[in-house]
């Protein structure tokens, strides 16, 4: 298979309310504007109650299925540390892993029935070469909007993709209302520089 015919698989994981679905929508639109075929699938069953949210985004010359097979994902973007652990079986050995340092305790931890795992980044780094721990909350606050965590993570992700920055900016300008646009553009740029 020629390199330009390869389908690339990105997996986003998070918790309801973090903006993972909006991020996957923006990502899909970026690939479309860059001329790729894109397929996307998401799961957000209990998202409004703080449950898990996942999204597969697959792009290439021709994509036939919206869901990546386990072991085929090249990039994982996790909006919460524990959510990164849940989906490691989807990654190939050379995967790039981007993890937001935020910890959102699941009900079992809040009730005292379980303990939130320690040293998640270090544990994952023992098995994968490229693990980037990012304080996306700090980036979002610096940009002027604490809710811009998703855009900050997209900025970090953009460094692993060969999409021109003007395509990203065009899609971001279309995705956000005027009152939120400046902070989200800044969060994206700060994430890109992180």
The CATH number that domain 3-105+116-193 falls under is 3.40.920.10
> Looking at residues 81-98, what average pLDDT do you find?
96
| Mean pLDDT estimate for the chain | 93
Q: For residue range 119-151, what is the model confidence (pLDDT) as tens digits? A: 999 999 999 999 999 999 999 999 999 999 999
Q: What is the pTM of this model?
A: 0.93
Of 11-20, 43-52, 121-130, the range with the lowest mean pLDDT is 43-52
pLDDT at 92: 97
User: Between the CA of residue 72 and those of 94, 109, 112, 164, what are the distances in Å?
Assistant: 10, 31, 35, 25
User: Between the CA of residue 58 and those of 11, 71, 101, 102, what are the distances in Å?
Assistant: 9, 14, 25, 26
pLDDT at 157: 98
Q: Where are the alpha helices (DSSP H) in 34-135?
A: 81-86, 107-110, 120-125
Share of the chain above pLDDT 90, in %: 88
The answer to whether 149 and 78 have CB atoms below 8 angstroms apart is no
Q: Check whether 50 has a pLDDT greater than 70.
A: no
Q: Check whether 68 has a pLDDT greater than 50.
A: yes
Q: Check whether 69 has a pLDDT greater than 80.
A: yes
Q: In the structure encoding, which two tokens stand for residue 100, read together?
A: 């937001």
Every domain of the chain and the residues it spans: 3-105+116-193
Q: Which residue has the higher pLDDT, 30 or 46?
A: 30
């Amino acid at each position: 298979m020629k390199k330009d015919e390869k389908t690339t698989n990105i997996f986003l994981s998070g918790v309801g309310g973090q903006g993972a679905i909006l991020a996957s929508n923006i990502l899909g639109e970026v690939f479309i504007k860059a001329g790729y075929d894109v397929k996307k699938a998401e799961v957000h069953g209990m998202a409004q109650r703080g449950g898990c949210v996942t999204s597969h985004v697959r792009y290439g010359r021709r994509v036939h299925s919206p869901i990546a097979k386990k072991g085929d994902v090249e990039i994982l973007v996790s909006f919460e540390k524990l959510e990164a652990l849940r989906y490691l079986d989807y990654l190939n050995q050379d995967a790039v892993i981007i993890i937001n340092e935020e910890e959102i305790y699941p009900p079992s931890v809040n009730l005292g029935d379980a303990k939130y795992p320690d040293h998640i980044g270090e544990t994952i780094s023992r098995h994968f070469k490229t693990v980037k721990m990012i304080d996306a909350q700090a980036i979002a606050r610096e940009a002027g909007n604490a809710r811009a965590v998703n855009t900050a993570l997209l900025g970090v992700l953009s460094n692993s993709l060969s999409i021109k920055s003007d395509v990203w900016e065009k899609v971001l300008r279309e995705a956000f209302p005027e009152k939120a646009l400046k902070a989200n553009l800044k969060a994206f740029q700060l994430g890109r520089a992180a």
